[in-house]
Structure 1
Amino acid sequence: MSQKKTALRSAEWFGTIDKNGFMYRSWMKNRGIADHEFQGKPIIGICNTWSELTPCNAHFRRIAERVKQGILEAGGYPVEFPVFSNGESNLRPTAMLTRNLASMDVEEAIRGNPVDAVVLLAGCDKTTPALLMGAASCDVPAILVSGGPMLNGKHKGKTIGSGTAVWQLHEEVKAGKITIDEFISAERGMSRSEGTCNTMGTASTMACMAEALGVTLPYNAAFPAVDASRYLIAHLSGMRIVDMVWEELKLSKILTRQAFENAIRTNAAIGGSTNAAIHLKAIAGRIGVDLNLDDWTHIGRGTPTLVDLMPSGRFLMEDFCYAGGLPAVLRTLGDADLLPHKEALTANGKTLWDNVKDAENHNQEVIRTLEDPLVNDGGLCILRGNLAPGGAVLKPSAATPHLMQHRGQAVVFEDFDDYKARIADPDLEVDENSVLVLKNCGPRGYPGMAEVGNMGLPPKLLEKGITDMVRISDARMSGTAYGTVVLHTAPETAAGGPIGIIENGDWIELDCANGRLHLDLSDEEIQRRLDARAQQPQPHDNLIAKGGYQSLYLAHVLQADEGCDFDFLVGCRGAEVPRHSH
């Protein structure tokens, strides 16, 4: 595309013939950059979350090189920069604690540096929302390239999925079905290549969300990390971002209300992670789109789950890719008028429907038809009631159908340490009709809202053959996990929510069909307990006093229904260049 009259943001650094321009160009020239690189070329930042401590993203240096080739070929100049890499697999207590920190890193790196646009390299769970949040706050042209999932896991002749296999095999150890040696033997087989989890966990879900939102090229979400097409997408994305500069195709033109509605419907169709509800809300908040939990009900509910992938189904991301990937799902939805906004604009300049209208489904076992879905209604179930005034979330495609309407007595764990100490106690008063309740694991209570909501069942019930129970918490769970698990209960315990006053033996009613989560106590008794609890010291108060990033987090993090962003980060601040200091 011709350069037209677009004013390059980078020219405010490199385009002036004065002292400041001299210094900016001179310092860049210490690497041997030629004069013509500063003359009318878009400077494209490559925002890289590479880290050897984030195994999902450890191959990103090679992906960045392919992006650079594309940028150079299209007439831009690439500049790669690192940002905080919040990998879920190693980072304690949870990568969710640092998602907002990473987004701040991205935002300030973009705003403070001479870049006209960015290519976002994301993979592990929180890196995708963090990069989109940071870029949205600046509203520059941006395109996201995912790192891709691992190859299918293999163990003793069977296919096993990332994360999902851990939960399954660990329950079998506790039930006495396999030995600890058999459990450990599956480690290498579960992770056979570089890339993110190969299940429809949060990493794959958010890659699909990015594609459905339109901020990637088509077919970006599913190609395995080691497939040559992953590098082709990187190269083409590098080429495309240069044209996006000249077209002034900023994120605000793509991340519209319509794009988020498409993503919500898509999440139901793929059996996506509950974490998407938090991340999409946070991204929407940064770009100025009003999105709330009730949107998941009136947009997502009633949508069949078509993708037969673990943890909800049988297959893995490699199978999904070669069956046709996300475009095949979107075409199926569109043909049935289940894609809310076909006209939504995407990063390649075309509409979402233009990108997928000719996609083919090559395997109807993996991507099922509307006549034979995995689950008839796979939209996230948003629950409200006196137990969750701010809402809670359940994933129907991963739940046991008969438990989605259930009434049982609470077995309460005050925090995760309490749960670990007592869950295996043979004298624990619990049966298969009980409701396990875990407190103090929300955004503030367990700083970062760790993925502990899918509590493992008591061994004495596993030994009886019980494989699922209703579980309620203010925590999250891994997208690779499964079960009839109520999550994100808001307000959380540490914010004075009603979940914090549940006692052993209280009756709880779960009614997914009507979106109801009810604690069977009078309003007067609930208020009495809330007042009594408000007088007690809270565990997180000590963390605030310690200072540091956790203190900032605890003071400013919003609740789960608000996306767990920091209150002072919500909104788009733009990319206005700060004053120079020379």
Structure 2
Amino acid sequence: MTELRSSEWYAGDDRNAYIHRAWMRRGVPSSAFEGRPQIAIANTASDLTPCNSHLDEVAAAVKNGVYEAGGIPLELPVVSLGETQVRPTAMLWRNMAAMATEEMLRANPIDGVVLLGGCDKTIPSLLMAAASVDLPAVVVPGGPMLTGHFRGEALGCGTDVWRLSEEVRAGTLSEEQFLKSESSMIRSKGHCNTMGTASTMALVAEALGTIVPGLAGTPAPDARLLEAAHETGRLAVQLVADDRRPSSFLTKANFHNAIVALAAIGGSTNAVVHLLAIAGRLGIDLSIDDFDRIGAQVPLLVNLQPAGRYLMDDLYRAGGFLAVMREVRDLLDPEALTVTGKPFVDYLEDAKIWDADVITLRGNPLQPAAGITVLRGSLAPGGAIIKPAAASPHLLKHRGQAVVFDSIEDFHARIDDPDLDIDADSVMVLRGCGPKGYPGMPEVSNMPLPQKLLAQGVRDMVRICDGRMSGTAYGTVVLHVTPESAAGGPLSIVQTGDWIELDVRAGRLDLDVAADELAARRPNQATLEGYAAPRRGWERLYVDHVLQADQGADLDFLVGASGSQVSRESH
């Protein structure tokens, strides 16, 4: 085994080594500093990130595994982002969390790291950090919650919030009954139990090779999560011994498998920006076109909300993620390795489907081609995406007149105005919600429908936005429009009444306005006033340096890796 990185702090008899050891003593024996790998446990547990609040218990299991294998476990609290709590949007802080974690991993005397995440942005930020610092690293996902029930029906986190709230606005559910469901929605510890971003990123991270195969999707209250966390702690020590770093096994082949997985599970569109950002940290050439090329024709095999009817604990009992991937094994790259050192496909042989209603067979998919589709055209010259699995089939080819909202505030002010000129064929357009414009690219693209149309029975319309949408959401929503409005994209000059054409099969999104007329247009004052204009702090840094959605919305100076070497020694 090569010399431990931590020995740069602890080895020797000089004053600096003395200080480093002495301040870490506090009951620790001297043998802790003598050739034993120092394993950080990057823990995103926080009471303000309720989906991750149980990770202290998971961390304790990891510690036991690390110590049993001869390492020294060191818990390292890192920035935690609660999707439901943080304003204005958790995505604004993903890059900050990644940067802070990267810097703390590099600055401290550690040899390897176990990454504990769950809620939407925590696993992406941890993987971005691990890719940039390139120390031996492995992820333990916190797992989904158990299914809650209301009036005898299973409740899907997020998905049923959107559904029930629309029923209240439509007048088919009382506000009293809606509020009664609140205490039933979250039954146990763990993240959302739908195929939202949290579930998606855990499963996709396993397909990427950064999680021990078979672990992702284990429910948070399941004792097997703690067993696996213990074993992952043991593995972390071995990773250091083998010098197995993210750069040593993560290649474009791993991202190929992650994209296949994203389509087969009907995963969140948010995975696109996260995978692009992680690939950017590794120097891997990944583009939104790869999602279309690799994933567009992959069948949807997982019958989970929002694209289906079941929930995450059903997926686990039905055979789990590996059983899904075995059905699409021929579409995977067999060369892609995992953090264990073995190819991902080697773990599929014994995976079986125990409930073919939850995990459908390859020959009987829920949808034959359900991957993320990339759209281009005069309204999205840099690309936009749509999730056909969550859309209404009759709207996948549509022509309608735009009803434009200049900001999310404008939307909220006018959407339920009975005099709003809008019908079921209209195309709802919301701008000023991209990375720069909001800032942070919020999950507002799945705009609630006008109350007067809900009352008429309308439940879906074409919606277009430069923001994101929750992985728990559904509908015919075109999102991540690039360039965003605030970056001068055509979205900034769309006017109410313009004709818009959507053709998902052809991969087109076009604004049917003469080129000379578009060239003469300028954004209106309301649009300009809706853009973010921070004067200081993180928001200012973010707006000045954030990349567009098709590049992962990372900061331009964070793309790539800096390695684990500290620039200056302590004195």
Please classify the TM superposition score into its range, dividing by the shorter chain length. Answer: over 0.9
Whether the 8 Å CA contact 1:441–1:473 is kept in 2: the answer is yes
**Who is 1:538 aligned against?**
528
Matches within 5 A, 1:113-152: 113-152=108-147
CA displacement at 1:232 relative to structure 2 = 1.0
* 2-structure distance, mates of 1:525, 1:552: 35
Q: Does 1:18 align with 2:14?
A: yes
**Which segment is superposed worse, 254-263 or 63-72?**
254-263
For 1:270 and 1:417, locate their aligned partners in 2 and report how far apart those are by CA, in whole Å: 34
Q: Please list the CA deviations of residues 416-449 of structure 1 after superposition, one character each: whole Å capped at 9, or x if unmatched.
A: 1111111111111111111000011111111111
**Partner residue in 2 for 1:417:** 409
* In 2: Cα distance, 1:536 partner to 1:268 partner: 38
Deviation at 1:541, TM superposition (A): 6.9
Amino acid aligned to 1:543: A
CA contact under 8 A between 1:112 and 1:578: conserved in structure 2? Answer: no
Paired residues of 2:219 and 2:313 also in contact (CA < 8 A): yes
1:325 alignment partner, one of 310, 320, 327: 320
1:9 to 2:2 alignment = no
Name the amino acid aligned to 1:411.
V
Please tell me whether the aligned partners of residues 383 and 481 of structure 2 are also in contact (alpha carbons under 8 angstroms). yes
Which secondary structure state, in structure 2, belongs to the residue aligned with residue 268 of structure 1? helix
Deviation for aligned residue 1:254: 2.6
> Of the candidates 54, 59, 63, which is equivalent to residue 54 of structure 2?
59
> Structure 2: which amino acid aligns with 1:180?
E
Decide which moves more: 266-275 or 181-190: 181-190
Q: Which residue of 1 aligns with 2:456?
A: 464
Pairing 1:370–2:367 present: no
The match for 1:560 is: 549
- Aligned ranges for residues 213-292 of structure 1 at < 5 Å? 213-292=208-287
Q: State the distance in 1 between where 2:206 and 2:532 align.
A: 42
Q: Which residue of 1 aligns with 2:392?
A: 400
Q: How many residues matched?
A: 571
> What's the CA shift for 1:387?
0.2
> What is the identity, as a one-letter code, of the residue corresponding to 1:9?
R
Match of 1:79 among 74, 77, 99: 74
Does the Cα contact within 8 Å between 1:207 and 1:220 map onto a contact in 2? Answer: no
Q: In 1, are the aligned partners of 2:402 and 2:427 still within 8 Å (CA)?
A: yes
Following the alignment from structure 1 to structure 2, what is the Cα–Cα distance between the partners of residues 204 and 537? 35
- Residue 508 of structure 1 aligns to a residue whose secondary structure is strand
Amino acid at match of 1:144: V
* Structure 1 residues 126 and 542: alpha-carbon distance in aligned structure 2, compared to 1, 3 A threshold: closer
Answer yes or no: is the 8 Å Cα contact 1:253–1:345 preserved in 2: no
Amino acid at match of 2:5: R
Which residue of the other structure, out of 197, 201, 210, is the alignment partner of 1:206?
201
- Indicate conservation of the 8 Å contact 1:496/1:534, yes or no: no
1:448 corresponds in structure 2 to: 440
Within the candidate set 84, 97, 100, 1:102 is matched to: 97
Which of 164, 169, 186 is matched with 1:169 structurally?
164
- The CA distance in 2 between the partners of 1:225 and 1:372, in whole Å, is 30
TM-score (norm 1): 0.97
User: Does the CA-based 8 Å contact 2:492-2:527 persist in structure 1?
Assistant: no
In structure 1, what is the equivalent of residue 564 of structure 2?
575
Instruction: Please give the alpha-carbon distance, in whole angstroms, between the structure 2 residues aligned to 1:511 and 1:272.
Output: 22
Q: How does 1:347-366 map to 2 (within 5 A)?
A: 347-366=339-358
Q: Distance in 2 between matches of 1:81 and 1:539?
A: 41
Cα contact 1:441–1:450 (8 A) shared by 2: yes
Distance of 2:223 and 2:151 partners within structure 1: 28
Q: Deviations over 1:296-349 (max 9, x none)?
A: 111111100000000000000000011111110111111xx122x123111122
Q: Secondary structure at the match of 2:297?
A: coil
1:143 and 1:54 map into 2 onto residues whose CA distance is 21
In the alignment, which residue of structure 2 is the partner of 1:300?
295
Deviations along 1:174-207, one digit per CA (max 9) or x if unpaired, are: 1100111111111111100011000000000000
Give the Cα–Cα distance (whole angstroms) in 1 for the partners of residues 360 and 526 of structure 2: 52
Instruction: Note closer, same or farther for the CA distance 1:305–1:465 as it changes in structure 2 (3 Å cut).
Output: same
TM-score, normalised via structure 2 length: 0.98
* SS of residue matched to 2:447: coil
Structure 1 residue 63, shift from structure 2 partner: 0.5
Give the Å deviation of 1:534. Answer: 9.1
Equivalent AA in structure 2 for residue 467 of structure 1: R
Structure 1 outlier segments of 4+, above 6 Å: 534-537
Amino acid at match of 2:399: R
Secondary structure of the equivalent of 1:294?
Answer: helix
Report the Cα offset of residue 477 of structure 1: 0.3
CA contact (8 A) 1:445 1:539 kept: no
Summarize deviations over 1:525-567 as a string: whole Å, max 9, x none: 22211xx2399993477633x2111111110111111101000
CA displacement, residues 327-386 of structure 1 (integer Å, 9 cap, x when unaligned): 10111111xx122x1231111221101112211111110010111111111110100001
Aligned to 2:207, what secondary structure does the other structure show? helix
Looking at structure 2, the residues matched to 188 and 537 of structure 1 have their Cα atoms a distance apart, in angstroms, of: 39
CA–CA separation in structure 1 for the residues paired with 2:14 and 2:117: 38
Q: Residue 543 of structure 1: SS of its match in structure 2?
A: coil
Mark the runs of 5 or more structure 1 residues left unpaired by the alignment: none
- Distance in structure 1 (CA, Å) of the matches to 2:384 and 2:262: 17
1:159 alignment counterpart: 154
Counterpart code for 1:18: D
Where 1:121 maps in the other structure, the secondary structure is: strand
> For the aligned residues, what is the CA RMSD?
1.2
Q: 2:246, 2:364 → 1: CA distance? A: 37
1:513 alignment partner, SS class: coil
SS at match of 1:538: helix
- Distance in 1 (CA, whole Å) between partners of 2:222 and 2:376 is 43
1:27 and 1:535 map into 2 onto residues whose CA distance is 58
Native 8 Å contact 2:385 2:481 kept in 1: yes
Aligned to 1:338: 331
Q: How far 1:522 sits from its partner (Å)?
A: 1.7
CA separation in 1, counterparts of 2:12 and 2:107? 17
**CA, structure 1 residues 320+487, in 2 after alignment: closer, same or farther (shift >3 Å)?**
same
